[in-house]
A = this chain, B = another copy of it.
């Protein structure tokens, strides 16, 4: 990423790194194991808030409640999240439970209900055991341990079948003020976001208008979270919330601000890092697969093609087997329904050309095998048909994906 010099990556940073934010997590009994299943991000001042939500027609109850909170005045003080139960397709009781979860959190933190967002992830169609949830929420203020330990507990609390927590943090300078942007996310299965990923939270201490934050969030989502897929299934619970405390003291960011491009690049870095981490930790995945498409008629066309290739079960299985089976890649390109010239396609696996001008190229199978056995594989597709380009991220399809999902609920 050539813009990386516009900001600095903070390897150990967390959602609690930006000024004003705390986070914490605990176990309230939604997961059968003792792993954390309830968490919160808290801001000591009202944070400018923006969000994007799943486009699935069956949006889960917490999305409705969070949407109402943000709509009230564009600000949030806290987000409360549970894992282990999605509170989706739970009807009127589920809606009442999401409101009750918000009310309990408002009580616990001494906030107005409209300052609280709620999110849930886990099994669809089961009612939340509200006694456990409310009991857990009472303990959340105490769980907001200062700094990164609390944020680590939060990042653990939002996971379901994820194996690793996903965090990202960068700093940059905005008219002389140090600004921090951080994020945490969970993913793993039912990952094929359309407007937002499963659950992701971005915090920053920048001063930024709500309109600018919402606009940036939408644009960034299109090229980060909306470009990953684990299994092609778009969740009912996808939600991405961004909160800006404004404590960095910079002049208000909006398009046109001299540091806007730097801020946008830094914001995108955080989102992209989280999106890649979700793809790499897809259910059962053994490696991250990146697909770049260039030479499409438009960026939008390139995105459609990249997502078709990254979502192909046959390509994903070949990646698991470290098999340089480019025939499946070009077949996926060809079924994307986008304009291509059948005679001008180049495909490379990393730096290894396997197809030039739509004709097979002899390549060293041993070299290809060694490359495909790595923990990150990049598939380059050059269409020579226009100037559109895109990148998508996904993972391989493995025995473990089937094992996890053949026995998830029971």
Tell me the A residues contacting B by CB distance below 8 Å: 55-59, 86, 88-91, 123-126, 189-190, 192, 194, 231-236, 311-314, 317-318, 320-321, 323-328, 330-335, 337, 340, 342, 345, 355, 358-360, 365, 397-399, 401-410
Q: Dominant SS at the A interface?
A: loop
Contact of A331 with B410 in the complex, beta carbons under 8 Å: no
A and B contact pairs by CB, cutoff 8 A, 9 listed: A57-B334, A58-B330, A124-B325, A125-B326, A233-B335, A235-B331, A323-B410, A324-B409, A397-B402
CA A317 to CA B407, docked complex, whole Å: 8
CB distance from A338 to the nearest CB of B (A): 8
Contact of A331 with B236 in the complex, beta carbons under 8 Å: yes
Contact of B335 with A234 in the complex, beta carbons under 8 Å: yes
CA A358 to CA B320, docked complex, whole Å: 37
- Looking at A234, A326, A333, A334, which has the most chain B CB atoms within 10 Å of its CB? A334
Contact of B91 with A318 in the complex, beta carbons under 8 Å: no
CB distance from A385 to the nearest CB of B (A): 11
Closest residue of B by beta carbon distance from A91: B359
Contact of B402 with A402 in the complex, beta carbons under 8 Å: yes
Contact of B124 with A58 in the complex, beta carbons under 8 Å: no
CA A335 to CA B328, docked complex, whole Å: 25
- Looking at A57, A324, A342, which has the most chain B CB atoms within 10 Å of its CB? A57
Residues of B within 8 A of A406 (CB): 317-318, 320-321, 323, 398
CA A54 to CA B311, docked complex, whole Å: 19
Residues of B within 8 A of A321 (CB): 405-408, 410
Closest residue of B by beta carbon distance from A365: B410
Closest residue of B by beta carbon distance from A232: B313
Contact of A340 with B402 in the complex, beta carbons under 8 Å: no
Residues of B within 8 A of A404 (CB): 317
Contact of B58 with A331 in the complex, beta carbons under 8 Å: yes
Given A331-B233, A333-B57, A409-B325, check contact A314 B189 (CB 8 Å): yes
CB distance from A345 to the nearest CB of B (A): 8
Residues of B within 8 A of A317 (CB): 401-402, 404-406, 408
Given A323-B408, A323-B409, A360-B126, check contact A56 B334 (CB 8 Å): yes
Contact of A358 with B89 in the complex, beta carbons under 8 Å: yes
Contact of A405 with B235 in the complex, beta carbons under 8 Å: no
Contact of A233 with B314 in the complex, beta carbons under 8 Å: yes
CB distance from A373 to the nearest CB of B (A): 12
Q: Name the contact of A234 in the complex, choosing from B234, B331, B401 (C-beta under 8 A).
A: B331
Residues of B within 8 A of A314 (CB): 189-190, 231, 233, 405
Closest residue of B by beta carbon distance from A341: B57
Given A58-B334, A125-B360, A231-B314, check contact A327 B402 (CB 8 Å): no
Given A317-B401, A360-B125, A399-B399, check contact A56 B331 (CB 8 Å): yes
Nearest 3 CB-CB pairings of A with B: A124-B327, A321-B406, A317-B405
Residues of B within 8 A of A409 (CB): 318, 323-325, 327
Given A232-B313, A234-B331, A333-B57, check contact A408 B194 (CB 8 Å): no
Q: Name the contact of A86 in the complex, choosing from B90, B327, B334, B407 (C-beta under 8 A).
A: B327
Contact of A89 with B402 in the complex, beta carbons under 8 Å: no
CB distance from A288 to the nearest CB of B (A): 17
Q: Name the contact of A327 in the complex, choosing from B88, B192, B311 (C-beta under 8 A).
A: B88
Closest residue of B by beta carbon distance from A88: B327
CA A351 to CA B189, docked complex, whole Å: 29
Closest residue of B by beta carbon distance from A189: B314
CB distance from A312 to the nearest CB of B (A): 5
Residues of B within 8 A of A311 (CB): 232
Residues of B within 8 A of A324 (CB): 409
CA A403 to CA B321, docked complex, whole Å: 8
